[in-house]
Structure 1
């Protein structure tokens, strides 16, 4: 059992802060092969019903009933909590922000709705911080800026949360491998909004145990001395030992196969003889075939169908070498069904919906003999066909607008299509994102060109004012034009305007020569002579 061969230590605290009631809730459970941690912040005002506690219980009940780290499983846990909150919204609409972390003692995967967070630290470095489902996060994502939403005014404007009326699309992370010494930190907004990431890392230098670490983080939070302290939850998981799959089991299986094959080959008086080396090779191939099938199944569950195809194909080839018709046919069927799903997705992306449905129905039919292999994935695609049609039509609309150079409208269509694509994990989402980036690039080019035209117009106006000797107006026009050229990176234009501004300043404030106040010597002599003449007249 994985739990017994690993060491995960958890410590947490959840406090009301300045309030009488704590609307946060945290709980976790550790099973033999999987563990689950859940932190929730209640967002409603119902004083009688604890929405956070209800959500945590719903997630853990679903997890215990069917523990798994698969992406689809975490989505189901979230949907169950969402459904329960909607059902119990009697007086007011219950709503909550949630973070769920599931581990198989080797890896983790998290699910987020709202702005509760998961941090993953290793060796004093932050490896992962879950994105918020808020307007602030969307703004930063659209600007392709890696900025913390901590200080943004829209950080609490949530686009997805438990209990919302419609369009519930939680974030599900990829699997993340754990190493010994890793630290996981779950928190609600009452904590992370007031504590910097670097402070969380610094606290790890002092807190060597999860309980000590949590206490230090609480001290950092309370040291802010805010008048109102929100409800806050902090949960730390220290990964002291990760479950390691030993090769002993694999070797034991190989040895058992070798012994079995030798026994079979020697039955009948030893008429057939195979060298031990050849028998061992057959046993190793059998284990290899099983590993490929297992890996293919995991990729399939995660929706990574291209990798699943590769694994099933390699497993089938090994089965051919072993002359094992049962596994060869089994893996060939799984390969075929997976390829049909991929072909269906490609057809849907191309707008060939009838063809896509044909592929999905074939995949469903061929999966029935294999205990309905791929049934959930196929049914989900068929159910989402209307939404896929909307996505493809929205993309086509965006393409039309793009071709007519209405890039802003095209970007709006692409954004709508991508939002829907993300909600159903549509395989064409990366292509839609690329179209968005192309439209944004065109918008940036047009904006730059418009700014340059505006600057050129201002420069011409400045020239006119200069010619009319209205130097103040000329300087004003030149200055604004210079700022625009600076923003658009036209340095030569900036320098040219600098000379024009200096010339205008010289005209506006000309240098006046200082007058010479000393009398010329001849003027002094004339003055002295006139005084002498006056004195002679008086003497006379």
Structure 2
């Protein structure tokens, strides 16, 4: 495999960042995952961190060097994140469960697999054209599908950021597995949270990602989203993937010489809050909580 990848996250006007994102790759497979901890519920950052940690840990164990069933890997482990959140909620007797959206993708043998729950999105572009975009699990999308509102109403509707499926909710999540997509040399894939697409239209995203450098393109995209969202915005996070090495970039990754049993995982650095004492859980508490849950699940052979 040859690809160029870039990820970043901005805190925006929120007091702290509840988004988490990461990618991991082996010789023959690549995982990308973005999770948006839901700010209307306590400890959304716990749920989001648990999501990316669980997905990347499982990938590192199973993609040696390829996954037996990429689609099943995505749906099984996204469901597992939900179950783990449910477990922590009960064990800690929390008043409400931490919640997060998730969008995750696997690229293996030139095929793109994607699954999501909530309104974090995946976009697939080719030659400046949008080939595919995931459909949000949102109230507004549901209203539009039923013909109750027009497309022009979706971006301004008061319920535009309300989702009906997430990890950690009161009901099992709706996990949508997208149709497989073939990747060709030069294709671009974007995974992002609603802080990005809520500020920038799909048409603008398409144009911003059409430049030669994926790192520059994603940086421009986040700069613009941040500028639009100076006062009333959300955290903004994105992973951009340029498939192949059409431009012979110095930043391109080649897995040709990787050992069969090796994996590489890159977690995006977390934006630290200015006043961490104001949060119920510190970053160390989050990491410790996740480690405890994963250890308990390994003992019960659920991981």
Instruction: Please give the TM-score of this superposition, normalised by the length of structure 2.
Output: 0.72
Q: Secondary structure at the match of 1:217?
A: helix
**Cα deviation per residue 1:217-270 (whole Å; 9 max; x = unaligned)?**
12221332542331110111111259xxxxxxxxxxxxxxxxxxxxxxxxxxxx
Equivalent residues in 2 for 1:222-301, closer than 5 Å: 222-224=226-228, 226-241=230-245
Q: Secondary structure at the match of 2:212?
A: coil
Alignment equivalent of 1:21, drawn from 16, 21, 34? 16
User: Equivalent residue for 1:64?
Assistant: 60
Mean CA deviation greater in 152-161 or 108-117: 152-161
* In 2, Cα distance between equivalents of 1:85 and 1:133: 19
In 2 relative to 1, CA 179–49 (structure 1 residues): closer, same or farther, beyond 3 Å? closer
* In 2, Cα distance between equivalents of 1:48 and 1:117: 18
Equivalent residues in 2 for 1:441-520, closer than 5 Å: none
The answer for unaligned runs of 5 or more in structure 1 is 1-5, 243-540
* In 2, Cα distance between equivalents of 1:176 and 1:146: 29
In 2 relative to 1, CA 241–107 (structure 1 residues): closer, same or farther, beyond 3 Å? farther
User: Equivalent residue for 1:387?
Assistant: none
Contact 1:88 1:94 in 2 (8 A): no
In 2 relative to 1, CA 49–7 (structure 1 residues): closer, same or farther, beyond 3 Å? closer
Equivalent residues in 2 for 1:181-196, closer than 5 Å: 181-196=186-201
Equivalent residues in 2 for 1:100-179, closer than 5 Å: 100-143=104-147, 147=151, 149-179=154-184
**Cα deviation per residue 1:153-187 (whole Å; 9 max; x = unaligned)?**
32222111001122322111111000111100111
Deviation for aligned residue 1:125:
0.6
Higher strand share: 2
Deviation for aligned residue 1:63:
2.7
Contact 1:59 1:80 in 2 (8 A): no
In 2 relative to 1, CA 10–155 (structure 1 residues): closer, same or farther, beyond 3 Å? same
* In 2, Cα distance between equivalents of 1:226 and 1:178: 35
Q: Secondary structure at the match of 2:225?
A: helix
User: Equivalent residue for 2:289?
Assistant: none
User: Equivalent residue for 1:36?
Assistant: 31
1:55 equivalent to 2:51? Answer: yes
Deviation for aligned residue 1:49:
5.9
In 2 relative to 1, CA 152–209 (structure 1 residues): closer, same or farther, beyond 3 Å? same
Alignment equivalent of 2:185, drawn from 180, 183, 207? 180
Q: Secondary structure at the match of 1:223?
A: helix
Mean CA deviation greater in 44-53 or 155-164: 44-53
1:80 equivalent to 2:80? Answer: yes
In 2 relative to 1, CA 116–49 (structure 1 residues): closer, same or farther, beyond 3 Å? closer
**Cα deviation per residue 1:101-160 (whole Å; 9 max; x = unaligned)?**
111040111111000000111111100110001111112222299937433332222111
* In 1, Cα distance between equivalents of 2:148 and 2:29: 36
In 2 relative to 1, CA 49–17 (structure 1 residues): closer, same or farther, beyond 3 Å? closer
* In 1, Cα distance between equivalents of 2:175 and 2:54: 16
* In 2, Cα distance between equivalents of 1:130 and 1:48: 22
1:218 equivalent to 2:218? Answer: no
Higher helix share: 1
User: Equivalent residue for 1:452?
Assistant: none
* In 2, Cα distance between equivalents of 1:106 and 1:48: 34
Q: Secondary structure at the match of 1:50?
A: helix
The answer for unaligned runs of 5 or more in structure 2 is 247-303
Deviation for aligned residue 1:215:
1.2
In 2 relative to 1, CA 174–47 (structure 1 residues): closer, same or farther, beyond 3 Å? closer
Contact 1:55 1:85 in 2 (8 A): no
In 2 relative to 1, CA 47–109 (structure 1 residues): closer, same or farther, beyond 3 Å? closer
Residue-pair matches, total: 236
In 2 relative to 1, CA 225–41 (structure 1 residues): closer, same or farther, beyond 3 Å? closer
Q: Secondary structure at the match of 2:23?
A: strand
User: Equivalent residue for 1:295?
Assistant: none
Larger radius of gyration: 1
In 2 relative to 1, CA 130–225 (structure 1 residues): closer, same or farther, beyond 3 Å? closer
* In 1, Cα distance between equivalents of 2:4 and 2:122: 16
Contact 1:22 1:231 in 2 (8 A): yes
User: Equivalent residue for 1:99?
Assistant: 103
Instruction: Please give the TM-score of this superposition, normalised by the length of structure 1.
Output: 0.41
Q: Secondary structure at the match of 1:94?
A: coil
Q: Secondary structure at the match of 2:160?
A: coil
Deviation for aligned residue 1:195:
0.1
